[in-house]
Amino acid sequence: MQLGNWQLDEVNGGRFWLDGGVMFGVVPRSLWKNVVPPDDQNRVPCANRCLLARDGRHTVLIDTGYGGKFSPLDRKFYEMEEGEPLLASLARLDTSPEEIDTVVFSHLHFDHVCGATRRGERGELQLTFPAARHVVGRLEWHDAISGAVELATAYRREEIVPLAGARLDQVDDGDEIVPGLRARLTGGHTRGHLALIFQSGGETAIYPGDICPSTAHLRRMWHPAYDTFPLDTRRNKPRLLGEAADKHWWAIWNHDPRVALSRLARDAKREFIPLDPLGQL
């Protein structure tokens, strides 16, 4: 899609399947299965929609998918795609890893960060985007490298620590990452989770990340079991979605397998509903 000076293209970070109970947390299966039907293993399909943003001055990648380093057992468990889907998708957009000048992470869970590194010929970890500055929320970085026992299953430190060798910038709420792109601290899914807001030519598009991963998560209580601060999700998600609805922003849904892009409207029964949904940007 064209948003003022920004050309925004979706990039496949690698589709996968996730247990429906994990994807919808406290929501009973009897409710969510009517919205997103599960397979015979109780799993639901998940897109992994990263974002390539180009304005003629900067080439920005939002999130990096899960990469190509997972074991065959892990790939089978999640039904991950073979190879390195992120790089294959960038190639279809005629963009090489060396052309990316800014990589921005909404947060540092495996399906958003593991594509930032890959194995070299001798098995060593290398940066996938060697020329890029890597941008992450300050609170997110602190928690991801803290080694806190209660966060051990949330962050793969062996994937994250190598990013310290990159040009790493830590940002706070409201910081401008490049002209026309700002960070919005949402918390909730993780303490330092960021939404990313693009503005140009009088239009705005938001990449909410996992504070609201799909159009099936628009209600206050519908959020993943992965959320480490669920009360913050329930407070902050409606505020963010309300602002998007009231100001007619576009929303780009990173894990929705059917809807890539929509506007939003408030709804008396369902809280929010998608308007003008599109399957692709």
**Among all chains, which residue has been given the structure tokens 């939003």?**
264
Nearest-angstrom CA–CA distance, 209 and 13: 13
Both structure tokens of 180: 């026309």
Options 1.10.10.10, 3.60.15.10, 3.40.50.2000, 3.40.50.300; CATH of 2-278: 3.60.15.10
Record the tokens describing residue 209, joined without a space.
Answer: 């990340």
Residue with tokens 């080694």: 147
What pLDDT, in 10s, does the model give residues 56-104?
999 999 999 999 999 999 999 999 999 999 999 999 999 999 999 999 9
Per-residue pLDDT tens digits of the chain, which is 281 residues long: 999 999 999 999 999 999 999 999 999 999 999 999 999 999 999 999 999 999 999 999 999 999 999 999 999 999 999 999 999 999 999 999 999 999 999 999 999 999 999 988 888 889 999 999 999 999 999 999 999 999 999 999 988 999 998 899 999 999 999 999 999 999 999 999 999 999 999 999 999 999 999 999 999 999 999 999 999 999 999 999 999 999 999 999 999 999 999 999 999 999 999 999 999 99
pTM beyond 0.95: the answer is yes
**CA–CA distance, 270 with 281 (Å, rounded to integer):** 25
What's the rounded Cα separation, in Å, for the pair 243 and 249? Answer: 8
Rg (CA), the chain: 18
- Using CA atoms, how far apart are residues 154 and 149, in angstroms rounded to an integer? 10
Name the token pair of 261: 């892009």
